[in-house]
Amino acid sequence: MNSTEIDVSREELHERLMDFAAYVLTSARALYREPQSYGPMRLADTLEKTLELLRAAGVQDEAVDKAMTAVRESRPLAMTDPERFATALDRSIGRLVQATLSESGRDKE
């Protein structure tokens, strides 16, 4: 994980944090009534918003960003083709597993 320059004001960060908190809570509330496929989509979007917020606050992780590639590419399919989106989630998770093993050095054993 890298620390980078903070590129927004504290006031803007506060606004974005409010946006984020409201998004997560309203999503959670709505999921009681929404289609099942909305759950994975909202969670993926929540992660995307988390990464955006952290990036604005000066925190970035290359491995996580790379792992998100498959999810980002398949995001439009989250509702129309849940199976393909699930496969994309698997690919992203697989990238995180590789990153995890790489961090611990187990991949070199």
Partner 1 sequence: MDVLETIKTRRSARSFADQPLGPHIVEAIEEAILYSPSASNAQEAHVVIVQEKARIRQIKRFAQGLSGWPAALVILCSNRDEALARGGIDSAETLRFINLGVAASAVMLTAQSLGVASCPVRSFHGESVAAIAGLPEAVRPELMISLGYADQPPRPKTSKLLREMISYEQYGN
Phi and psi at residue 31, in whole multiples of 5°?
-65, -20
Q: Which residues bind partner 1 (CB under 8 A)?
A: 15, 18-19, 22-23, 26-27, 29-30, 34, 38, 42, 76, 80
In the bound complex, what is the minimum distance in angstroms from residue 30's beta carbon to partner 1? 6
In the bound complex, what is the minimum distance in angstroms from residue 18's beta carbon to partner 1? 7
Is the CB of 30 or the CB of 93 nearer to partner 1?
30
Tokens 């980078």 belong to which residue? Answer: 4
Q: Which two tokens stand for residue 74?
A: 């398949």
Distance from C-alpha of 107 to C-alpha of 91, rounded to nearest angstrom: 18
